[in-house]
Structure 1
């Protein structure tokens, strides 16, 4: 079996294995957890204004409402290192008392998966509360003259600039996509988050960008409305068979495989495509997650999971989620555990291919 097929198979079968390997006792309750009068910090390891920050600030008040005792829940931004700085701090300092949680992104998972030397955290030990699937949209400056993805072949002769958090961050997905499309993209590294990349786009310092769904809906749609940005394609979403299909939040935009076929005249295939798909699955279907530290007592974990579940059934949540979360079902509890385990078990062949490509392309050392 090729490891490209393994990517699909892992998505469909790892959940069943995880349910056995990481099963739940099913007897813990949240009755003993009480956060009355407490202040809970939700660490967001990015600067303000990006997709993860937007997502975290959406969730924080719902945890305040639905956690026992109604604690004050505040977002604490700790940017740096493509999110590794905040994740390292969480690993080192967070106590298992429920008063510190972290909201991560694929940019937190990818350095971990790629064994980035900056990583000092062990994600597999953390207790997952919820997973928020998301997508993303690639867009360009309207000055390039494109109107839609149908015009993408014009980019073959254009020098593009992209503001990136780092090659081993979630930006690995767009960088691999640009490579597959054969685009000449100069990646400008050092952005503190996707919000910083968007601001660089608005200042005219870069001419191609992508934002996760929440940030695109809230911050880029106005640029599209005034004619300064042109959306080209979304990354897409995963169906039950592990295939990439159109993103339900952006049904009028082609998915990346469709955009590739529009530009290249054939469906994507080969080792680069298989590697791209593996890391797309790791980075987007479970792209943003809330974790508690290892050794957090089960009653506290259950209190958080019950709070998240209650939030997803709340009328105000259902009314407001479209603008921030898009058309994605929030995944809570044991299903979140299963999808998390799938996300952190990228096929070894895909990992090795990406590591070699990153070393050859961007001189990243592992």
Structure 2
């Protein structure tokens, strides 16, 4: 069941024609690059051009903050120093952005993008509106891995999981199904006996945190990296994490340890896999190898840039770059789940 209205896809013939045009475009680029050194290609190809980073969420959230950070440093790591702009394309848990990157963006290396890492799970359970195959993107890598945690306001009396189990109701704000802000507490509610009331509809994780500050909701879940500054401020208290550990929350109760349900443990384990690629980046399918190598090298080198790392640290953003090959392994691990497991996951995770 989809909770989002997603624009209807073009007719199959239109998609086929578009994919054919993309392949022909990529082929023509590849032919023109034969024999050209990579550095020469990069310097000549990107000089005077604009590289667009598509972000599947509105400004202000974690995906947007990472994109804007990298946009400031990538030009010096790409021969030709292109201008870089951000195009926010929110909607449907970033499915709209992923569809755009897959079927609309040209395979010319001038458009890259980032979307919800949980789209791996969305593809596995065949969410309505998906018009992409994650295995066919031209993968660049992932900027970070991250834990997913659940927090409550520090002024509330909940200090242990048992305290939360005794609560009549704990209100958790979310951006909607398909995001860690929603799915993590939804699965906890189903399998741990904690009565969370989920309030979806916030347009970004930063808006959810604003609701926490205003005491409109009792807590929020999501990326530890995004929530950490608010923990340090004393606004929220971390309560539960997934199996992905991070410095400072190693001793938090792990979701899988809080249920006796074998099905619940399995769903929690599979749901945690995409957090190893928490900030994924791709280019369009069939982007020529010469161009995708330039982009991969640029993102990898930017991730080691001392000035970028200093700014990331100041902004409480963790950089932990994973190359394309490692990310694709994670994607395939999720998508290789048997149909019966996909069916079970689909009962609890919605987009």
Please, what TM-score do these two structures have when normalized by structure 2? 0.79
Query: 5+ residue gaps in structure 2?
Result: 1-34
Residues 191-210 of structure 1 mapped to structure 2, 5 A cutoff: 191-210=202-221
1:310 counterpart residue number: 301
Partner of 1:152: 161
| 1:32-79 Cα deviation digits (max 9, x unpaired) | 233111111111111122221122222222322211211121221111
- Write the distance in 2 (CA, Å) between the matches of 1:180 and 1:106: 23
1:127 to 138, 155, 168: 138
Residues 173 and 280 of structure 1 are in contact (CA less than 8 Å); yes or no, is this contact kept in structure 2? Answer: no
Cα deviations by residue, 1:111-170 (Å, 9 ceiling, x for unpaired): 222211122222221111012212233210223213x4xx22111223112222333334
For 1:173 and 1:268, the matched residues in 2 are separated by 17
Q: Which runs of 5+ in 1 are unaligned?
A: 1-26, 238-246, 359-363
* Equivalent runs, 1:100-119 vs 2, <5 Å: 100-119=111-130
Does the 8 A contact of 1:82 with 1:193 survive in 2?
no
Does the C-alpha gap of structure 1 residues 338 and 208 become closer, same or farther in structure 2, counting only changes over 3 Å? same
Q: Show the counterpart of 1:248.
A: 246
Instruction: Answer yes or no: is 1:136 the counterpart of 2:148.
Output: yes
Residue 28 to residue 188, structure 1, CA distance change in 2 (3 Å): farther
The 3 A distance-change label for structure 1 pair 115 and 216 is: same
Match of 2:241 among 214, 234, 237: 234
Counterpart CA distance in 2 for 1:357 and 1:250 is: 29
> Aligned to 2:46, what secondary structure does the other structure show?
coil
Residues 67-86 of structure 1: matches in 2 within 5 Å?
67-86=78-97
Q: CA offset at residue 326 of structure 1? A: 5.4
Query: CA contact under 8 A between 1:286 and 1:343: conserved in structure 2?
Result: no
Say whether residues 1:294 and 2:285 are aligned partners: yes
Report the Cα offset of residue 252 of structure 1. Answer: 5.3
Q: Which residue is 2:10 aligned to?
A: none
Relative to structure 1, is the Cα distance of residues 328 and 310 closer, same or farther in structure 2, using a 3 angstrom cutoff?
closer
> Which residue does 2:30 correspond to in 1?
none
Match for 1:334 among 322, 325, 331? 325
Gap change, CA 1:308 and 1:135, over 3 Å in 2: same
**More moved, 330-339 vs 305-314:** 330-339
Counterpart CA distance in 2 for 1:210 and 1:323 is 22
What corresponds to 1:15 in structure 2?
Answer: none
CA–CA distance in 2 between the matches of 1:154 and 1:217?
Answer: 22
How much has 1:94 moved relative to structure 2? 0.6
Q: Which moved more, 1:31-40 or 1:168-177?
A: 168-177
For the residue of structure 1 that corresponds to 2:267, the secondary structure is helix
Quick one: distance in 2 between partners of 1:62 and 1:352?
A: 42
Does the aligned pair in 2 maintain the 1:134–1:328 contact within 8 Å? no
CA distance in 2, matches of 1:251, 1:185: 22
C-alpha deviation, 1:268, in angstroms: 5.0
Are the structure 2 counterparts of residues 48 and 236 from structure 1 closer, same or farther at C-alpha, using a change threshold of 3 Å?
farther
